[in-house]
Amino acid sequence: MVNWRTVEVFVKSLKLPNPTKPNS
C-alpha cells in the first residue's frame, strides 16, 4: 500500500529547494 502522507511529504520535498535527500 502507498502511504499518501509519505507521498505528499515527498512531493513537497521535491518542490521545496531543500536538498534533504541526494536525489540524483
Handedness of CA 16, 19, 20, 23 (dihedral sign): positive
Task: Give the pTM.
Answer: 0.40
On whether the CB atoms of residues 20 and 13 are closer than 8 A, the answer is yes
| Res 2: pLDDT | 81
Whether residue 21 contacts residue 13, with contact meaning beta carbons closer than 8 Å, is answered with yes
- Maximum alpha-carbon separation in the chain: 28
pLDDT in tens, 1-24: 788 999 898 888 777 766 666 655
**All three cell numbers of 24:** 540524483
Which three-class secondary structure state does DSSP give residue 8? helix
Q: What's the confidence (pLDDT) of residue 15?
A: 78
